[in-house]
Structure 1
Amino acid sequence: MSGTGPHPALERADALYELGRHDEAKALLGRRIAEDPEDAEAWIRLARCVRAGGEPAEALEASERALALAPEHPDALLQHANALQTNGRIVDAEAPLREVIRLAPQYWYGYALLGHWLWRIRSLTRTPSGGTVTQEALTGYLRESDELALTAVRLAPEEVFPYEVRWSIADMAKDQARVDEMVQEILRRDPRHPQALAHHTRQAATAPGVKAAEAAALYADALAVAPDSSALQQGLDHATYRLLRGVRLIAVLSLGFAATMLDLWTKEGQAPRELPVPLGQQLWYFVPVGALWAVGALLRYRRLRTGVRYNLRSVLRRRRWPRIVLGQAAWAMLCALLISQVPWAERGVPRIVFWAGLLPTLATIPFDRRKTT
């Protein structure tokens, strides 16, 4: 926000900072400050750079030097506020941000950043020591913060950060309608925004009636846009795990068909069929079971997106519970084949095999729905 163009060294430092090469930018700024220790712009950039590099104490020192040289420079005040917050002094950050708003009333970022922090500051300064914030007080603090963020939106309607601030405030206020509205506003301006994309995709994937394959496709499409999003990857892993649970269900149904074929359990007064089961009936078992696997597993797999297929193999390598579920499905299917294809003369052993195939799944179903690792 300087009135003149920055020194070429500062422009190069800005470019390095944008590329994430903070150490190089820091070294360049150090040389510039050695040439001209009175360059407030260099100190401002150095404060930003060392804070991003994980050096909070150095950031605070640099911001103080910048303020000493230019006490009414909005960017110096902003960097000082950021440095204070990074050093655990968020309460002290309110004053420089208020000064930014006074000096630059049309500068949206001062309103947005103060709105982002103000409800936390109020909670710390207006709550008795050892006490808790009442819901009524918190609602007032959040409203005050949201008014500042809304001012930032009016001043810069195309900037993303004010909407992020309003999103966090709405989330704290448990206003789901406002959260969804802010997510949509963010995605209109930045379709690749990782957090907003993850939230939007999760809402769609967890809606009632959405099947596992559909959820996996939604997450895979979103990951194609934001491939570094851990939240989206976790969602895809969970949807893939749901697919594997579906495979296990098919195996359990196959086990049930085998038990039915041998009349392992009959109603009182009903005579069970004679054993051993004829060969033709043993072979007929593969007709309904084969159709079940063809439609429920093979056809579904062929319809999966390439990314979902890849993740299916990947999640089996990376995660323990998907391997457990697949192992349970294989074991249940093996038991089903033993029951249906061996010419049993008695029902005692097939009953044992049936329970041996079913119990591992029954033992884990109550709690494995939440497992992805």
Structure 2
Amino acid sequence: MSTLHPTVEQAQALIELERYDQAGALLGRRIAEDPGDLRAWVKIGYCHLNTERVAQAVEAADEALKLDPEDYGALRLRAQSMVRDNGWLTVQPVLRELIRVAPQDPFAYAMLADAVWRASLVEYAKASGARQLSHRDIDRVSGEAAELAMEALRLGPEDVYAHEIAHRIASTAGNGTVADQLDEAILRIDPQHAEALARQTRKAAEAPGVGATRAAELYADALAVEPNSPSMRQQLDHATYRLLRGTRWLAVICVVMAGAMVDLFPSDDEPAPELPIPVGQRLWVLVVMAAVWAFGAWRRYRRLRAGIQLNVRSLIRRGRWARVVLAQAAFAMLCALLIAEIPWTDRSVPQLIFWAGLAPTAATIWFDKRKSG
């Protein structure tokens, strides 16, 4: 391996610090001094690529390949520049040459698997005229890509990119078991891998029998590992909203209890209690309502970890539907208190209050199941 020029070494240090513009300026001066410095061309190409100047990165790769058509760094830069410019369908020749030059490189096999998989899907969709491919269709055309991905995993058992490509192929083909195993392997290699962590957390949170509280705890744990994941933050909001939705059920229960105490809809078989209801009975119903809220909401809220409590308050401030939920619960409770605590002498008015508190709340409980904010 040739020794790097000191200017190129200095530029490489700047690249590692992600100071690409400064590194590019140094490399530009080096190339002006010696246009035959292949390593300078490759590294300036990566400076261009990392600053979204894809056309200049392609040009740098081409200049490097003129100096050495079999240089690994130049071929890899050319392939990465092409795919950054949506060239997945034309990059295969470059990747196959890269594999010929470096047959033990897992990155080359993984990237070729990705390119072959994408091209196979496009060709099959064009040939069949299908707008959407089924799992069976994808599995049928993913054979070569899957083999290349397995070879990448064999060569690089600790290579995250190889696992990512293999997971993408398996998951789109409907191979859920293989996809889960690959996710577990990715998280073993990189415990902070945002996409794998989000997938596994969501799977655990959506498992049968997992309630809103447990789901919120799972997403909070995942966010502690990867706090910048927008998908997990959204799912935490959704789980938190499910917790808030439960308050309306408590309010509905209280409305029904108040209606039952007054016996708003008496039957012919049993005589209705005389109105007004005694004060002691009205106060007792108030105690029962307080117990319903204490055990159904306050006790649960107090047991939530601090991060989820903060998210509850944050979601109420941010989310329109969260505020709607609490407003409906408050309105239903107001109706329950009016029914239970006013000494009514006639049932017609409390009947109207009963339906006003019960019907809109019960109807919207089913409407907004998928709302998250």
TM-score range, shorter chain: over 0.9
Q: How many angstroms apart in 2 are the aligned matches of 1:101 and 1:345?
A: 89
Which position in structure 2 is the counterpart of 1:70?
A: 68
1:330-369 deviation line (CA, Å, top 9, x unaligned): 1111111111111111111111111211233233223201
Report if aligned partners of 2:138, 2:172 keep a CA contact under 8 Å in 1: no
Report if aligned partners of 1:223, 1:233 keep a CA contact under 8 Å in 2: yes
TM-score by length of structure 2 reads: 0.93
Report if aligned partners of 1:44, 1:75 keep a CA contact under 8 Å in 2: yes
Report if aligned partners of 1:118, 1:141 keep a CA contact under 8 Å in 2: no
Q: How many angstroms apart in 2 are the aligned matches of 1:9 and 1:321?
A: 58
1:232-271 deviation line (CA, Å, top 9, x unaligned): 1011001100000111211111111111111112333321
Report if aligned partners of 2:252, 2:362 keep a CA contact under 8 Å in 1: no
Which position in structure 1 is the counterpart of 2:353?
A: 353
Q: Which amino acid aligns with 2:316?
A: L
Which position in structure 1 is the counterpart of 2:116?
A: 118
Q: CA deviation at 1:206?
A: 0.8
Q: Paired residue for 1:34, among 24, 32, 36?
A: 32
Report if aligned partners of 1:220, 1:236 keep a CA contact under 8 Å in 2: yes
Moved over 6 A (4+): 133-137
Which position in structure 2 is the counterpart of 1:144?
A: 144
Q: CA deviation at 1:70?
A: 2.2
Give the 3 Å change call, closer, same or farther, for CA 232–5 of structure 1 in structure 2: farther
Q: How many angstroms apart in 1 are the aligned matches of 2:233 and 2:8?
A: 38
Give the 3 Å change call, closer, same or farther, for CA 293–143 of structure 1 in structure 2: same
In the alignment, does 2:156 pair up with 1:156?
A: yes
Stretch moving more, 25-34 or 102-111: 25-34
Stretch moving more, 70-79 or 187-196: 70-79
Q: How many angstroms apart in 1 are the aligned matches of 2:13 and 2:248?
A: 53
Q: Which amino acid aligns with 1:77?
A: L
1:4-37 deviation line (CA, Å, top 9, x unaligned): 3544444454454455444444334334333433
Give the 3 Å change call, closer, same or farther, for CA 266–83 of structure 1 in structure 2: same
Q: Which amino acid aligns with 1:157?
A: P
Q: CA deviation at 1:322?
A: 0.9
In the alignment, does 2:251 pair up with 1:244?
A: no
Q: Which amino acid aligns with 1:156?
A: G
Where 2:210 maps in the other structure, the secondary structure is: coil
Which position in structure 1 is the counterpart of 2:2?
A: 4
1:281-306 deviation line (CA, Å, top 9, x unaligned): 11101222121111111111111011
Report if aligned partners of 1:50, 1:56 keep a CA contact under 8 Å in 2: yes
Q: CA deviation at 1:118?
A: 0.9
Report if aligned partners of 1:119, 1:138 keep a CA contact under 8 Å in 2: no
Q: CA deviation at 1:129?
A: 6.5
Which position in structure 1 is the counterpart of 2:257?
A: 257
Which position in structure 1 is the counterpart of 2:327?
A: 327
1:85-142 deviation line (CA, Å, top 9, x unaligned): 2223222200010001111111111001111221112333566568349767643431
Give the 3 Å change call, closer, same or farther, for CA 281–22 of structure 1 in structure 2: farther
Q: Paired residue for 1:93, among 91, 94, 97?
A: 91
Q: CA deviation at 1:176?
A: 0.8
Stretch moving more, 264-273 or 311-320: 264-273
Q: Which amino acid aligns with 1:320?
A: R
Report if aligned partners of 2:38, 2:64 keep a CA contact under 8 Å in 1: yes
Q: Paired residue for 1:106, among 104, 112, 116?
A: 104
Q: How many angstroms apart in 2 are the aligned matches of 1:126 and 1:217?
A: 43
TM-score by length of structure 1 reads: 0.93
Which position in structure 2 is the counterpart of 1:201?
A: 201
Q: How many angstroms apart in 2 are the aligned matches of 1:345 and 1:268?
A: 19
Q: Which amino acid aligns with 1:143?
A: G
In the alignment, does 2:316 pair up with 1:316?
A: yes
Q: How many angstroms apart in 2 are the aligned matches of 1:17 and 1:320?
A: 45
Q: How many angstroms apart in 2 are the aligned matches of 1:15 and 1:209?
A: 52
Q: How many angstroms apart in 2 are the aligned matches of 1:280 and 1:204?
A: 48
Q: CA deviation at 1:231?
A: 1.0
Give the 3 Å change call, closer, same or farther, for CA 277–215 of structure 1 in structure 2: same
**How many matched pairs?**
371
In the alignment, does 2:294 pair up with 1:302?
A: no
Q: Which amino acid aligns with 2:208?
A: P
Q: Which amino acid aligns with 2:61?
A: S
Q: CA deviation at 1:179?
A: 1.1
Which position in structure 1 is the counterpart of 2:340?
A: 340
Give the 3 Å change call, closer, same or farther, for CA 342–204 of structure 1 in structure 2: same
Q: How many angstroms apart in 1 are the aligned matches of 2:17 and 2:341?
A: 65
The 5 A counterparts of 1:259-274 are 259-274=259-274
Stretch moving more, 147-156 or 351-360: 351-360
Report if aligned partners of 1:219, 1:236 keep a CA contact under 8 Å in 2: yes
Give the 3 Å change call, closer, same or farther, for CA 289–8 of structure 1 in structure 2: farther
Alpha-carbon RMSD across the aligned residues, in angstroms, is 2.1
Q: How many angstroms apart in 1 are the aligned matches of 2:158 and 2:54?
A: 30
Stretch moving more, 96-105 or 23-32: 23-32
Which position in structure 1 is the counterpart of 2:186?
A: 186
Where 2:307 maps in the other structure, the secondary structure is: helix
Q: CA deviation at 1:230?
A: 0.6
1:155-186 deviation line (CA, Å, top 9, x unaligned): 11111111111110011101111111111010
Q: How many angstroms apart in 1 are the aligned matches of 2:342 and 2:98?
A: 83
Identity of matched residues, %: 48
Where 1:91 maps in the other structure, the secondary structure is: coil
**Unpaired runs of 5+ in structure 2?**
none
In the alignment, does 2:213 pair up with 1:222?
A: no
